[in-house]
Every structure is written in structure tokens, then in C-alpha cells.
Amino acid sequence: MNERLARQIAFLVEADKLKSIIRRTSLVDLSRRENSAEHSWHLVLVIMVMREYGPPNVDWMRVMEMVAVHDLVEIDAGDVSAYNVDALKVVREQAAADRIFALLPADQHVRFRHLWDEFEAHATPEARFANAVDRLQPLLQNAHAAGGSWRDQALVRAQILDRMAPIESSLPDVWPHVLDVVESFCVAGVLRRD
Amino acid sequence: MNERLARQIAFLVEADKLKSIIRRTSLVDLSRRENSAEHSWHLVLVIMVMREYGPPNVDWMRVMEMVAVHDLVEIDAGDVSAYNVDALKVVREQAAADRIFALLPADQHVRFRHLWDEFEAHATPEARFANAVDRLQPLLQNAHAAGGSWRDQALVRAQILDRMAPIESSLPDVWPHVLDVVESFCVAGVLRRD
């Protein structure tokens, strides 16, 4: 086997480990918490269904590619609750990106690393939409799972809305539904108003 | 919430159930069998890494979309071993496709159903490549998991090669590696030669 194919396979085999990274979010049936690989698949599907709410002239292929790779760093750095980020998270994830994407042949290393850097920088319409669906999917899942991962984190309404803000700018027509969901969980006592 | 958004969310919430459909293939570390949602994500990644081995002028976005939806019918129809298909599989999966894609608004229902029909028909270069990576990913996983799901199915070499044939036509430069893997598991006694 030539070295190029060997490196590509080594990367794909390493990626399998993302299936063992457990997130805070539960499945809708509350049977277990979801992992970052199946979460990433769900984001691809959200993009396919929800892209009509995004801005014009978006490169949707790049959005799909970004969500497919966005969590790979968690293989080394782990999943951290969005509401409990520590100062070293960025350092750990950069080191993980350095190692994991370097498994690929040089040209693909550059391409995949650029996708991840773009996702993290939130600077392009593609990255902002990808980040927005990364917020929307767990919200939909929690909304249909009696609050799901919100239940055990003692969260305040403003924390959720701050976290969900990318949805307001990238999928503005979906934002009223986000507000409705958050309000309903305040009424239910799952989220505190302040 | 308007009816269109409600239908889109209902579909995305229903799709969460794919995370509970368990396949034959194990994770590389053999800790558990993988589910069809994380498998679908892995296929997206295989496409991103391996598309250079495919034919020219392929619509890669459609290949990605096809693998993202290809297993959704298993929510109703279940996962069936590729080496143990019964006569009613097609009937069950058609009924599942009828129900699940109809959760979407009418235009998206048509679009998603077409993607699934195209995948199943193997008639376009896009569908053939998508089917080829659907074969290649479990092979790579088994190859790095001491035979994985091949170990307990008493399989013969010709069954595997027949199943893997789409790789030969859609990713011809990867085919020699497939032959090497199968040969090595014959030598190891995991697969029978005939």
C-alpha cells in the first residue's frame, strides 16, 4: 500500500474514536447521552433541512465538511460543556488539531485543518451557519426530551440565549421558535429566569 | 410556529432514533457495536478523504447528502446483515421511506426521497460511490479490529469480495488494498477461502 493511502486510512481509523466521546446532550428518548460522532451526523442532516433559513450564496458543501470535522479534536481534548469552559480548552484543542489532522497526507492535512480553523473562527457565513446548527441541534433534542441536558446544570435563561445567539443571526426565521422553547422551560422550572 | 418549520423539526427529532439502530460492525476498540448514525457520519468523512479515487465530474455534495440519509429507513426497518438479507427487506424499507420522508414539507419530502431512491438504485456515479464507501468503511473498521463483525458470521472469501465489488469500480486504486485485507483474514482463519 502506498504511503498516501496508508495515511488516509490511519486518519479514518483514528476518527472512529469520536464515537466514544460522550456529550452532555441525551438522546430524545433519554436512554443515554449522545456521542460526538452521531451528533456530527445529525448536524449534517440539520444543514440539509434548514439551509433555506441561511443567508444567500453560502457554499453548503463547505458547511457540511466543517460540521463533519468540527469535533474531531475531542478525541484528544474531550467534550466540555458549553456552559463550563475552562481556560485551557483552546490550548488542548489546538494540540489535538495539530496531531489528528497531521495523520493525513500533507495537502489534506492543510485542507482539513483549514476547515476546523474556519469553524472555530466564526468569521465566514459558512462557519457561522455551522456554529448555529451546532447550537440548534442540542436545543431541539433537549426541547423534545423534557429539558434533557439542561436539567442538571442549573442554567439561567441568559446563558442559554447567549449560547444560542448564532441562531438569531444565521437562521433568523428560526429564532422565535428558540425563544419559545427557552420560555417554555423557564415556565416549567427547568431554566431559571435570572 | 408555522407548519413548515414544525414538519422540519419533527423530521429532525425522528432522525434521532437512528442513533439507537445497532449495526453488526464493532468500533475499532471492540468496546461495542456501532450505530447507524455514527456510521453515517463516518461515511461523510470517508467521502471527504477518498473522493480523489472516484471518477471525474461527480457531484460530491449529492454523495454526502445520500450517505447522510441512506440508513434512515432503518428507524422502522432495522439493520440487516449484508450477508443475511431476507426477501421482505425491500418491502419494509420502502414502507419506512414512505413514512419517514413524508414527515418533511412536500418539496423536501420529494428531494430526500429521491436521494434515498438514487442511493438504492446504484445507477449514477454518485450513488455507486456512496455505496462503495458504505462497503469500505466497515471493511477498514474490521481490518483494524482483528476481523470485527466478520468473526462471528462464518463468511467465505467470495461473499466478502462480492459485497465489496462496488469499491473495485468506484475506487479502483483502493481495490488492491481490499484484496490484501481479505487475503490476510483468510490466512488468519477469520474468513474461509471457499
The model's pLDDT over B59-106, given as tens digits with 9 standing for 90+, comes to 999 999 999 999 999 999 998 877 777 878 899 999 999 999 999 999
- Chain A's closest residue to B177, CA to CA, is A1
- Looking at the complex, does the CB of residue B144 fall below 8 Å from at least one CB of chain A? yes
Chain A environment of B103 (Cβ under 8 Å): none
Q: Is the pTM of this model over 0.80?
A: yes
Over the stretch B119-135, which tens digit does the pLDDT of each residue have? 999 999 999 999 999 99
Report the alpha-carbon distance of residue B5 to residue B7 in Å, rounded: 5
Is the Cβ–Cβ distance between B168 and B54 less than 8 Å? no
3-state SS, residue A162: helix
Report the alpha-carbon distance of residue B57 to residue A7 in Å, rounded: 25
3-state SS, residue A26: strand
Is the Cβ–Cβ distance between A18 and A40 less than 8 Å? yes
Chain A environment of B29 (Cβ under 8 Å): 16-17, 20
| Predicted pLDDT at A84 | 72
Over the stretch A146-175, which tens digit does the pLDDT of each residue have? 888 888 888 999 999 999 999 999 999 999
Amino acid at B194: D
Question: Is the complex ipTM higher than 0.90?
Answer: yes
A130: closest CA among A186, A83, A171? Answer: A171
The cell numbers describing B36, all together, are 447507524
- Looking at the complex, does the CB of residue A75 fall below 8 Å from at least one CB of chain B? no
Q: Angle at CA B21, nearest 5°, toward B96 and B163?
A: 80
Tell me what the pLDDT averaged over chain A comes to. Answer: 95
